[in-house]
Amino acid sequence: MPLRNIAIIAHVDHGKTTLVDQMLRQAGVFRVNQQVDERVMDSNPLERERGITILAKNTAVHWGDTKINIVDTPGHADFGGEVERILRMVDGVLILVDAAEGPMPQTRFVTRKALELGLQPIVVINKIDRPDSRAEVVHNEVLELFMELEATNAQLDAPFLYASSRHGVAYRKLPAEGRKDGPATRDSAPGPAVEPSYRDPEEGVRGGWEGDLTPLFETILSAIPAPLCDPTGPLQMLISTVDYSSYVGRIAIGRIERGVMRLGQDVLLLPLGEPGMVDARVGERARVARLYGFDGLQRLEIQEAAAGEIVALAGLEGIEIGKTVTDPDTPERLLGIAVEEPTISVDFSLNNSPFSGRSGKYVTSRQVRDRLFKELERNVALRVEETDRPDTLTVSGRGELHLSILMETMRREGYEFQVSRPRVITREGPGGEQLEPYEELVIEVPDDMVGTVMQDLGPRRAEMRDLKPAGLGKTRMGFVIPARGLFGYRSDFLTDTRGEGIMHHRFLEYGPWAGSLAHRTRGVLVADREGMAVAYAIFGLQERAEMFVKPGDPVYGGMVVGESARSADMDVNITKEKKLTNMRTTASDEALRLEPPRDITLELALEYIEEDELIEVTPDAIRLRKRALDPSERRKAQRAAKAAAEA
């Protein structure tokens, strides 16, 4: 059967998963009357809650007599490691670009990776139904991006399609408007209206847009080459993804580069290393106990698969991403998967707060350590290192979101732990100078808020590189900023723009150390004793602070319960109750009106805390605390830090 292997790559929220939904529908994967959730590929609970794709996933559709293996990839820069390893399995990519936003930071990142691997692109300018669509301008911006990334002539000749994934339509020429009598195209000879081959019986004509995704499927078959693999040679396969089943154990997913894989076949699992022939004794012999192929959303058991096919297999111990599965008589190792290094790190440590063990199932340092090292088996962009303290591990990742997703996953599994403030991973330059990571920051805000944003980014050492109108009364700005400068900025940004701003950033390069940067300007309220937060005490504090707790929340001495309006920290008694007497006055029974507390999420906590603070992560709560719970010890540490700074 003819094969095509493609990955769909784009910036976050440009419509990848929605497009895959429509491709599955129109390829006949679902019954006509079948009820299917939106974004069916986002099966992880965290993905559904946040509306983003975190893990790359495989599916397959049939168009005519051709099988098309599709890989849906994350769009957020922090999960770029998922994209990098998936690109080794495919022969072409669909690059989705928003018709209004144009190429964004992650678009550049994933496009560069695809072009470097020599993959053939198809550009889909999506969301042409947006009222602020500027598809023709975005077309030119994509071509400029290709030239900046030194694309080959064949890649520069990539076909362009115009689509609305929400409505399930794609066109080879840009439609002037969606009309029920068929869209006219901006062409000197418009020709006949598009005759759709697909009809949704419940929607009729697709939201006023006539047509379907037939042009997209036909372009995939004509522009994406078939896998260049040798089905007659000895078996060779690179493991690109690892899954787990409680029934069969660990499952390896990858593309067969050479030969044929059969159920029950003896294979050799080679360790990571340089490509080429190796001694068979370094490998691990195993047998293929289960062999699966992909069809729609299902993973079906098959008897054999030939070169070029993406398969999943079970029965091998020691499966790791980047290892090679070969024929035992021809132990030839493939080039491993190279992933860019992490840029920030945090410390995971044992939860030693007074509330330790109250809600967690796994609370010991050994259990946390085992879970973190287990995560390395599938999360290739993560690093875990031992420290000189037995109860602390350093975990490095690609960004705050990358690390917070790991923390949230562990929290839901029943783990308790503490996390330090993020810090950047520095390098030494060729001349011995210190280098730090810089981020490419793109911000889109209403025109009247440009000055406020620029004023806030100045002390954070941001350098403006681009400023242009984005349409509909908004302005888009591009900056280069030290990664340290973004710590704590997102909450300030949302406040400054009253929630109307959009911010994206990705790792750009290592550059010279930028010196000291502005930190949090406000102090915190610290509980001075253990107990329950009381409404009477909160009412007296909220006029000069923003609270993090509500009445009835348990607190302990040294726990951060709010943000002060002043720069210094303040110890408070948040468990103070009103004294009861038998005297009545007009004000004694006055109703207490409390402001809602700030909701503490992991992302907010990571960018909020300072060096002397920690995040306590438990299954039922996320708390902020001081490293030293005793106030006298905190004062001693402050004096020592001040003396060291003056020395």
Q: Using the predicted structure, report yes or no on whether residue 248 has a pLDDT greater than 50.
A: yes
Same domain assignment for residues 53 and 174? yes
Distance CA 213, CA 3 (A): 19
- Coil/strand/helix, residue 397: strand
pLDDT at 43: 52
Report the DSSP beta bridge partners of residue 296.
Answer: 60
Most distant CA pair in the chain, distance: 96
**Does any domain span residue 320?**
yes
Q: What percent of the chain has pLDDT over 90?
A: 25
Same domain assignment for residues 33 and 145? yes
Q: Using the predicted structure, report yes or no on whether residue 119 has a pLDDT greater than 60.
A: yes
pLDDT at 348: 94
pLDDT at 56: 66
Residues composing the chain: 647
pLDDT at 199: 37
Q: What is the CATH number of the domain that holds 203?
A: 3.40.50.300
**Does any domain span residue 439?**
yes
Sheet holding 249-258, edge to edge: 284-287, 266-270, 324-326, 236-245, 249-258, 310-314, 290-295, 298-301
Q: Which of 197, 164, 166, 171 is nearest to 26 (CA)?
A: 197
Kindly indicate the confidence band of residue 368, based on its pLDDT and cuts at 50, 70 and 90. very high
Distance CA 559, CA 574 (A): 11
Same domain assignment for residues 206 and 90? yes
Q: What is the CATH number of the domain that holds 503?
A: 3.30.70.240
Same domain assignment for residues 508 and 532? no
Q: What percent of the chain has pLDDT over 70?
A: 87
Last residue of a domain, one of 223, 258, 284: 223
Q: Using the predicted structure, report yes or no on whether residue 614 has a pLDDT greater than 90.
A: yes
Q: Are 372 and 348 in contact (CB under 8 A)?
A: yes
Element containing residue 449 per DSSP (H, E): none
Same domain assignment for residues 38 and 168? yes
Same domain assignment for residues 16 and 121? yes
Q: Using the predicted structure, report yes or no on whether residue 298 has a pLDDT greater than 80.
A: no
Same domain assignment for residues 102 and 219? yes
Span 46-60, mean pLDDT? 63
**Does any domain span residue 231?**
no
Report the DSSP beta bridge partners of residue 396.
Answer: 345, 383
Kindly indicate the confidence band of residue 201, based on its pLDDT and cuts at 50, 70 and 90. very low
Give the model confidence (pLDDT) of 537-577 as tens digits. 998 888 888 899 999 999 999 999 999 888 888 999 999 88
Q: What is the dihedral of CA 495, 496, 497, 501, to 10 degrees?
A: -80
Q: Using the predicted structure, report yes or no on whether residue 196 has a pLDDT greater than 50.
A: no
Per mean pLDDT, which range of 204-208, 364-368, 434-438 is the poorest?
204-208
Per mean pLDDT, which range of 16-20, 115-119, 433-437 is the poorest?
16-20
> Cα dihedral sign for 396, 401, 402, 403?
positive
Distance CA 160, CA 274 (A): 38
Give the model confidence (pLDDT) of 391-417 as tens digits. 899 999 888 888 888 999 999 999 999
Per mean pLDDT, which range of 70-84, 270-284, 516-530 is the poorest?
70-84
pLDDT at 283: 87
Q: Are 393 and 347 in contact (CB under 8 A)?
A: yes
How many structural domains are present in the chain? 5
**Does any domain span residue 123?**
yes
Last residue of a domain, one of 333, 358, 384: 333
Q: What is the CATH number of the domain that holds 373?
A: 3.30.70.870
Same domain assignment for residues 531 and 473? no
Domain assignment of residue 576, given as a range = 524-646
Last residue of a domain, one of 175, 199, 223: 223
Q: What is the CATH number of the domain that holds 269?
A: 2.40.30.10
Give the model confidence (pLDDT) of 567-613 as tens digits. 888 999 999 888 776 666 555 556 778 888 988 888 888 888 888 89
Global pTM value: 0.75
φ, ψ (nearest 5 deg) of residue 604:
-65, -40
**Does any domain span residue 99?**
yes
SS3 of 81-123? HHHHHHHHHCCEEEEEEECCCCCCHHHHHHHHHHHHCCCEEEE
Q: Using the predicted structure, report yes or no on whether residue 192 has a pLDDT greater than 60.
A: no
Q: Enter the DSSP assignment of 557.
A: T
Give the model confidence (pLDDT) of 622-644 as tens digits. 999 999 898 888 888 888 878 88
Same domain assignment for residues 87 and 216? yes
Tokens coding 78: 């922090």
pLDDT at 81: 65
Distance CA 77, CA 343 (A): 12
Distance CA 17, CA 42 (A): 7
Give the model confidence (pLDDT) of 453-494 as tens digits. 898 888 888 999 888 887 778 888 999 999 888 887 877 787
Average pLDDT of the residues of the chain: 82
**Does any domain span residue 229?**
no
Kindly indicate the confidence band of residue 181, based on its pLDDT and cuts at 50, 70 and 90. very low
pLDDT at 386: 92
**Does any domain span residue 291?**
yes
Distance CA 440, CA 437 (A): 10
Q: Using the predicted structure, report yes or no on whether residue 527 has a pLDDT greater than 90.
A: yes
Same domain assignment for residues 417 and 432? no
Same domain assignment for residues 441 and 317? no
Give the count of beta carbons closer than 10 Å to the beta carbon of residue 395.
23
Same domain assignment for residues 532 and 500? no
Distance of CA 92 to the CA centre of its chain: 22
**Does any domain span residue 584?**
yes
pLDDT at 184: 38
